[in-house]
Structure 1
Amino acid sequence: MKKLLVLIICLGLLAVTGCTSDTQQSADNSKNASDTTLKIGLMPDIDSIPFIIAEEKGFFKEEGVNVELQHFKSAMDRDSALQSGNLDGGVSDMLAAGFAKDGGFDVKMTSMTDGNYCLVAGTANNVQSIKDMKGQNISVSKNTIIEFVLDQMLMQNQMTEADINKTVIPQIPTRLEMLQNGKLDAAVLPEPMGSIAIKNGCHLINSSEEMQINPGVMVFTNDSLQNKSEEIKAMYRAYNKAVEYLNNTPQEEYMDLVIEKAGLPPATKDALTMPKYHEAALPSKDAWEKSIQWLNQKGLVKETYSYDDMVSDILSK
């Protein structure tokens, strides 16, 4: 009887040990998967579309990388997620990268993106150029890429802030609605909102694309660049496959999917003509120098960070 009791106890201990081992193994596997998953923050704009396509077409899987796409409605929420360690990288812009660096948070720009920012005149506004807009109300979001683009337009036309009235409306949908309803003379809008406004009776005055200024970038945390470099490289290979797909596929074949996944307005389908996307490449040095000069002149960033301070050339490594 005693031998039987000892045998039962031993078998019980083995079972418990086995369960503990399985539980530990499961936890380790989960941790390893989390350690190698690349978490990317996206915004509801055309810069994010190649990532959505790469996921939906299985290009990330083909390159052997686990990518978790997280969608954000505001740049502030995206930046908070980056700084709290909940993201490895995200679709961003040079101004946001400069703010992060100045705030002691080390991020690097790794590639340019293909966004476009449009100065659009309202339905009742008959101006044909920004020079005709002296004294008019132009809506922007303060201290952002939107205001930066407007200031670059003014400078290229030998104008200053004093020549126009900046109306600050942070929320893009509100800005779009007020413009379409004739409550603003003009507004700077990102795509696809610019195209939607034009489709609804407004008209284009200028754009960052026409000015050949591209402040849109991908950023990654320094920690992720050091510890997930192979995953980032694989992500970019998948990104380039998505770019090839987008440039060679009629947009009606994927637009419904993109609108759903990116959270874009349904009107995007009929209003937006997709840009020609570019394979991943380093951001423009000239665009960065204009961005940091603007940040310094406005007193928004103290240091004059160099291009090399801000860029990681992981694409060539």
Structure 2
Amino acid sequence: MNKIIKGFMIAFLVSSSVLINGIKVQAQEERKETAVDLLVGVMPATDSAPIFWADEYGLFEEAGISVQVELFTNAMNQQSSAQTQQIDVYMASLVEFIIARENNTDAGAITTTTDGVFPIVVSPEYDGGEEVKIGLMEISVTNYIADLFLTDYVLDKQFIAEVPLRIQMLLAGELDMAVLPEPMATNAAAQGLDKILINESQDFSPNVMIFNQETLENDATIVAAFHEAYNAAVEAMKGQEDAVRALLIERLGLDAAIQDDIILPTYHLTRVPSEEYVEEARAWVETLLDQKISVTYDELVVKDYVSGD
């Protein structure tokens, strides 16, 4: 399987390079006609709350930038938009970006980690057996988490990029389990599925924010302003858990009935993952692809915009 994955990735990168370059040029031309400073790609996850908050309450404007936030439910579509520079900064799993940066030196860099929760959602038809058919995205945080925490099971991995489709397949009994980001996990639980919270002992969440190379090189002031607004949102969200949950419900189009059940992480000011944490993820990627990953920590991470807390 690892050789198949590796071969597919290489073939895809080669065959799509001309198309991507063409789309990139078109996106750059269209971008010249807009007054937006940053196009931001986010996922349907609690990680997105500080960005939603900064957008909702004018914190980006206070920091001096204009931001457009785009929600993706499919990480592959978001990655394609990032490669073609249709977005400037986006949320992705660390393992996904390690592979992207290994294959493309112009893929950009991590400027901060985010804070998320990834429960396991279980079908009511699951019989409790050791063998589990589980819905994941192949090269993603969900696959990484499954290998990290579900070591007591024999995993029959079903690779499904769309988060809503994983929920549908659970409801139909076509999957036993799926790894879902919160609050999508709570939304699934409200439809009759079981939600199991994994107690992650690690200090960092496996999701990160990535700026493209052109923005990092040419718009450092804008990058700094984005992080300023992000930090202002984190500070403003303290003690406002109900408002944060309500904002997630609104922005993600979820049922308001699940609001009180959404599990929120502890939100941190901008910070980057440690070298040790990145090394653990790199080792997992090497096992997944059966190849050596040569990209270094300093090539993956930019520390210029972190505040820490």
Q: Normalising by structure 1, what TM-score?
A: 0.76
Query: Does 2:67 align with 1:56?
Result: no
C-alpha separation in 2, matches of 1:211 and 1:165:
26
Once the two structures are TM-superposed, the CA of residue 256 in structure 1 deviates from its matched residue by 4.3
Once the two structures are TM-superposed, the CA of residue 267 in structure 1 deviates from its matched residue by 5.3
* CA pair 201-286 structure 1, distance change in 2 beyond 3 A: farther
Q: What does residue range 243-282 of structure 1 map to in structure 2 within 5 Å? A: 243-251=234-242, 253=243, 255-264=245-254, 266=256, 268-282=258-272
Q: What letter is aligned with 1:235?
A: F
User: Aligned residue for 1:3?
Assistant: none
Query: Does 2:136 align with 1:146?
Result: no
C-alpha separation in 1, matches of 2:237 and 2:103:
36
1:235-275 CA-to-partner distances (Å, cap 9, x unmatched) read: 11111111122222141x35444333344455542431322
Q: What letter is aligned with 1:100?
A: A
Unaligned runs of 5+ in 1: 1-29, 128-132
Specify which of 164, 167, 170 is matched with residue 155 of structure 2.
Answer: 164
1:36-93 CA-to-partner distances (Å, cap 9, x unmatched) read: 7122112222111211110111111111122222222321222222211222211112
User: Aligned residue for 1:89?
Assistant: 89
* CA pair 118-81 structure 1, distance change in 2 beyond 3 A: same
* CA pair 316-199 structure 1, distance change in 2 beyond 3 A: closer
* CA pair 212-268 structure 1, distance change in 2 beyond 3 A: farther
Q: What letter is aligned with 1:141?
A: M
Structure in which a larger fraction of residues adopt helix:
1
User: Aligned residue for 1:315?
Assistant: 305
Once the two structures are TM-superposed, the CA of residue 149 in structure 1 deviates from its matched residue by 0.9
User: Aligned residue for 1:68?
Assistant: 68
C-alpha separation in 1, matches of 2:183 and 2:69:
20
* CA pair 283-107 structure 1, distance change in 2 beyond 3 A: same
3-state SS in 2 of match to 1:298: helix
3-state SS in 1 of match to 2:180: strand
C-alpha separation in 2, matches of 1:177 and 1:144:
20
User: Aligned residue for 1:283?
Assistant: 273
* CA pair 108-58 structure 1, distance change in 2 beyond 3 A: same
**CA RMSD in angstroms, aligned pairs only:** 2.8
Query: Does 2:295 align with 1:305?
Result: yes
**Worse-matched range after superposition: 183-192 or 228-237:** 183-192
Query: Does 2:170 align with 1:179?
Result: yes
User: Aligned residue for 1:227?
Assistant: 218
Q: What percent identity do the matched residue pairs reach?
A: 29
Q: What letter is aligned with 2:87?
A: L
* CA pair 226-208 structure 1, distance change in 2 beyond 3 A: farther
C-alpha separation in 1, matches of 2:244 and 2:206:
26
Once the two structures are TM-superposed, the CA of residue 94 in structure 1 deviates from its matched residue by 0.9
C-alpha separation in 2, matches of 1:112 and 1:267:
30
User: Aligned residue for 1:26?
Assistant: none
3-state SS in 1 of match to 2:99: helix
Once the two structures are TM-superposed, the CA of residue 33 in structure 1 deviates from its matched residue by 7.2
* CA pair 210-263 structure 1, distance change in 2 beyond 3 A: farther
* CA pair 213-240 structure 1, distance change in 2 beyond 3 A: closer
User: Aligned residue for 1:17?
Assistant: none
Preserved contact between residue 93 and residue 140 of structure 2 (Cα < 8 Å): no
Preserved contact between residue 120 and residue 197 of structure 2 (Cα < 8 Å): yes
Query: Does 2:182 align with 1:191?
Result: yes
Paired positions, count: 276
Query: Does 2:30 align with 1:40?
Result: no
C-alpha separation in 2, matches of 1:219 and 1:186:
29
Once the two structures are TM-superposed, the CA of residue 208 in structure 1 deviates from its matched residue by 6.5
User: Aligned residue for 1:296?
Assistant: 286
C-alpha separation in 1, matches of 2:50 and 2:145:
23
Q: Normalising by structure 2, what TM-score?
A: 0.78
Unaligned runs of 5+ in 2: 1-30
Once the two structures are TM-superposed, the CA of residue 200 in structure 1 deviates from its matched residue by 4.4
C-alpha separation in 2, matches of 1:122 and 1:211:
27
Preserved contact between residue 102 and residue 294 of structure 2 (Cα < 8 Å): no
C-alpha separation in 2, matches of 1:184 and 1:31:
45
C-alpha separation in 1, matches of 2:255 and 2:291:
34
User: Aligned residue for 1:217?
Assistant: 208
Q: What letter is aligned with 1:87?
A: I
